[in-house]
Every structure is written in C-alpha cells, then in structure tokens.
Chains A and B, each alone.
Chain A
Amino acid sequence: MQALTNRSRAVSRKPLSFWESLYLPAILKGMMITFRHIFTKNPTIRYPEQKRPFSPVFRGLQVLNRDEQGRENCTACGLCAVACPAEAITMEGAERQPGEEHLYREEKYAAKYEINMLRCIFCGLCEEACPKDAIYLSETFAPANFTRKGFIYGKEELLIPNPITEPEAYALAKGGKVTV
C-alpha cells in the first residue's frame, strides 16, 4: 500500500536486543531529559501575581462610553447589532425626555443594551461599526462564572463610570487600563 505521507514508517517487529531488553538505559536517558529541564528557563508565569502585558490590539470585554460630561454616547442606532456576526448584541431605543439631557447625549438613547458574552467572539466589528464612539473593546477578559446567566451583560455592567458623579471609580477604571 502506498503511504499517504512520507513521514509514516512501517512498525518494526524485530525482537528486542539484549541491551534494549534491559530497559534501564532507556529509563536513564528519559530521566536525563527531564532533569535537564529543571535548569532551563521557565516558559510559564505564576498567573494571578504575575500578568503578561496585553498586546495593544487586544480585544476584550466591551464597554459603553460616555462623553466628558458623563452623558451616554450610544443612540441605539443598531449598527453594532447588525455588524455583529454572532448576533450577540440586542438593544431597545427610547426617546430622551425633557430633563434627561444630562444623561444622554442625543435625543435617542439605548434604554436597554445587552451583549450576550456567551455568543460574543470578540471580533471588534461592533467597535468598528459604531458611528458615535460609544462601544469599545477594553483590555480585560469577561470573568468566569458558574452559571450562564452571569454572561448576559446589560448596561450596568457595560457602561463606564460617570466622570462627573463618580470621579474616583472613573479614575480607577482609567488607570486600570494599560496605556500604550
């Protein structure tokens, strides 16, 4: 039969020689390889204490942006949802009422905004599609959770802290990012 690749070899059925049937030399040879690795450089890191820096193009958990005055940028235009290949984003728009001008930047806003992190593939197309600078992929992971319910992220999870009403949380969130 013709071999499919040139890497395949026929199995040798020859009986073991005396030197091979001792086994000990082969064991020692294997031990040598193992011990040598004690002195080489460790490829792993101790994760929670040590962290590797993210690449500047890393795409992590989404955040919903606010402008300098703390108003939400998102207008529920639906472009992120239509761009999303995994159909992870859903939203419902509402009209801004008089007196809500300090909360929302434009006359329409997202009353509900949800990203299903079980569906999200972190491709970043939502960020690319957004005409209002409202959605960004941050440099953090979606934290692990025991239930699937914990992966439906609403506006409370996604919105960045308000720089006017919660300046400490805003500074913390800003400082927590790796600056390029």
Chain B
Amino acid sequence: MSEQPLLTVTIDNITIQVPAGTSILQAARKVGGDVAPPAMCYYSKLEGSGGKCRTCLVEVSKGSEKDPRPMPKLVASCRTNVMDGMEVKNITSPRVTDARAGVVEFLLINHPLDCPICDQAGECHLQDLSYEHGKEGTRYEFQRRTFKQHDLGPYIQLHMTRCILCYRCVYTADQLTNKREHGILDRGDHSEIATLIEKSLENNFIGNVIDVCPVGALTDKTFRFKNRVWFLKPENAHRECPDCCGKVTLWNRGDEVFRVTARKDEWGEVESLADGSTAWICNTCRFEKKKSSDWVIEGPRKISRHSVISQGHYEGKVGTTVPTEIFSAVHGGRNPKLLMDIHSVSEVNRPEIQLSQIAGPSTGNDFTTGKD
C-alpha cells in the first residue's frame, strides 16, 4: 500500500496533520489538553467501540476543502473521520458545551449518587465529566431504575445501577477472551449487563473489564471497600507472567498491595507496550498476587496533579524510602523519655491485620480479631 498523504484538520483553531482514516477524536487527542473531547464509551484499544454515549459531540464548521459547508448537526467525534481542510470546534463552540451538559444530565438520570460508597470514586470518568461539563442539579423527579443483584463470581462486583451502557466490557470480553459469557440483556430502559443464567465470569483476561469500565459498575471485589484510591500509593511494578505482559500499577498502602490494575495513560485507557500491543493484564496478576514480594517495584507512578489521587503522593526518592530516625543523633545519643507508639492506642491500620490478604470485601469481623 502506498504512503497516504496527510490531511490537514483544524480543531479549536489549532491545525495539525493526521493520516487519512483518523477520527476527529484521535486527531484532537494528538493536540491534547482541553481540546480533546471527553469520551465515555469510546476506547481506542477496543475495536468497534464508540458512538453510544454522545459525550464527544463536536461541531464541524467546515466539512472539507472541497465541500466547505458545515455539518448540520453536531457529530460524534469518535465515529467521524477527518477530511482534508476540515474545521472542528470543540470547546470554542457554545453549541457543543450546551449539548454536552445535556448529555451529562441524561447520563446522570439513572446514575445513583453513591460516590461516597463507590470504589471508583476518584478515578471515575463520569465524576470528572459531570464535574467539568455537567450542571449542578437534575430535573428528573422519578425513581431511579433498580436491578436485581447479579453475582459475577469471586473477583468482579457488578453494580448495574451505576452502568451507563457503554458496551466497553462487552467488547473487551469479545476481543480478549475466546468466549464471551456476559452481555447486555433486554432493551431500552431495562437493558442490563448480565450473564443470562447466573454464573461467574471465569476467563483469565476477564478482569480487564474492571479497567475499561468508565464508572463504578464493574469493580474489583478483592479491593472492595478496603480503602479509597486517593489514600493509596500507585507504583509501577512488573513480574514474570506466563500469560500476560506482567506490567501493572500496584496500589499500595505502606508495603501492602491493596489493588493491582493495568497501567493507564492520560486518557484513562490501558497503556500500549513498546511493541504496540496493549498492556492488558491477566486475572492471576490482578487478583492473586497481593504481596509485595510477588512484584519488582519500578517506582512511583506519575499522577496528574489535577487528580485527587495526587494528594499525599510523592514522586522520586521521597515516595520510596523511609526517612531515618534522627532523634537520638540530634540529642547526643539520648532517646526520648516519653514515646507513644500510635499502634498501641490506635485501632486503625493495625499492623497485624493484613487487609490485602482478605479475599473478598472486608467485614466487621476482620477488625475484631486479635485485640479486645
């Protein structure tokens, strides 16, 4: 195939050149920053995703060099390819911001406001989206829809009420596993993610649905309620894994591995490896290797300073070393006469309780062992 000429496209008055066949969203992500439209359902690593959530709507004010008429309606940028000379308006268009606020309001109609409970809070795309583009209140006055609880096995927790039906997990199961066991049942308002006959999802790569889920509908049951993500310390780590690349992010508290996820890039998608493939990780790495001795730690992960996860997060040497006790050196070899070890009083973060070793969610009984 011959080398294709680059197309020139202007997004929010920034001109770049992209190869033919690039979507507007991909071109905008090349520009980066605020210009890139938010995406809830589109996932560049999953073939066929996109076009469902409508959050990436943009205005095309000039179709192309040959046909300069503007497109009559806002278009979904994840599904529209660029043309030569196209002019796109994203944040510079009031129509787009207005439409996006409406889309957010629709997405939030049935989304429960249980962020204080949800394990996704802090890294939830819907949270970010509604914070940046949404309106403060809702005009919806009716009961939010509820579903019968479905059990998806010992590893994955499904909260159907939080689902926005982006289909990312369905594509993940289709493209990463040889046989998809879950899908979307029913239609319209009743549609829900489920396995038809209640059974657990067993495939070794099915854990990746947790990473692709933009909301808290699919979360890690082995991490459930154990800690909030912003109190954990994300670290890059790897291990020799026979099934997957073994390159992961560990979410540590002290030396305890609370959670293992794939490495995510600035768009919240799983990173690409050096050879171009995507760094999906297997269930063994994700759910069963919860000891620091299982991993080779590379160092703290870079976190955007606008994220709540960056609170209390230190990079470089500060995040990896324990400071040395200098009291006696400063006081000429004298140790403090009165010293309170916080663990002798405090009942939180007790060193003898290994929360990360508990298979499921922590319960009240896990905290009553030992003391009292």
Q: Which residues of A contact B230 (CB under 8 A)?
A: 78, 82
Tell me which of B115, B340, B361 contacts A77 (CB under 8 A).
B115
Contact B348 A114, beta carbon cutoff 8 Å:
yes
Q: Which residues of A contact B344 (CB under 8 A)?
A: 149
Considering the chains assembled together, what is the distance between the CA atoms of A95 and B344 in angstroms?
26
Contact B364 A94, beta carbon cutoff 8 Å:
yes
Contact A75 B116, beta carbon cutoff 8 Å:
yes
Contact A95 B363, beta carbon cutoff 8 Å:
yes
**Residue of B whose beta carbon sits closest to that of A78:** B228
B297 within 8 A of A: no
A169 within 8 A of B: no
Known: A82-B308, A94-B361. A77 touches B346 (CB 8 A): no
A interface residue count range (under 10 / 10 to 19 / 20 to 34 / 35 or more): 20 to 34
Stretch at the interface among A62-70, A105-113, A136-144, A158-166: A105-113
Considering the chains assembled together, what is the distance between the CA atoms of A100 and B361 in angstroms?
15
B29 within 8 A of A: no
**Residue of B whose beta carbon sits closest to that of A134:** B116
Q: Which residues of A contact B117 (CB under 8 A)?
A: 75, 77, 106-108
B367 within 8 A of A: yes
Secondary structure of the B side of the interface? loop
Contact A93 B348, beta carbon cutoff 8 Å:
no
CB distance from A72 to the nearest CB of B (A): 12
Q: Which residues of B contact A76 (CB under 8 A)?
A: 225
B349 within 8 A of A: yes
Contact B349 A152, beta carbon cutoff 8 Å:
no
Contact B348 A108, beta carbon cutoff 8 Å:
no
Considering the chains assembled together, what is the distance between the CA atoms of A100 and B365 in angstroms?
12
Q: Which residues of A contact B106 (CB under 8 A)?
A: none
Contact B231 A93, beta carbon cutoff 8 Å:
no
Contact B347 A112, beta carbon cutoff 8 Å:
yes
Q: Which residues of B contact A112 (CB under 8 A)?
A: 347-348, 367
B362 within 8 A of A: yes
Contact B231 A79, beta carbon cutoff 8 Å:
no
Known: A79-B116, A107-B117. A149 touches B228 (CB 8 A): no
Q: Which residues of B contact A79 (CB under 8 A)?
A: 116
Contact B116 A92, beta carbon cutoff 8 Å:
no
Q: Which residues of A contact B116 (CB under 8 A)?
A: 75, 77, 79, 106, 108, 131-132
**Residue of B whose beta carbon sits closest to that of A152:** B345
B311 within 8 A of A: yes
**Residue of B whose beta carbon sits closest to that of A149:** B345
A125 within 8 A of B: no
* Residue interface mask B215-250, A partner, CB < 8 A = 1: 000000000111110110000000000000000000
Q: Which residues of A contact B355 (CB under 8 A)?
A: 92
**Residue of A whose beta carbon sits closest to that of B119:** A108
A-B contact pairs, 7 of them (CB 8 A): A75-B117, A77-B228, A78-B230, A94-B225, A106-B117, A108-B117, A131-B115
Q: Which residues of B come within 8 Å of A, CB atoms?
A: 114-117, 121, 224-228, 230-231, 308, 311, 340, 342, 344-349, 355, 360-364, 366-367
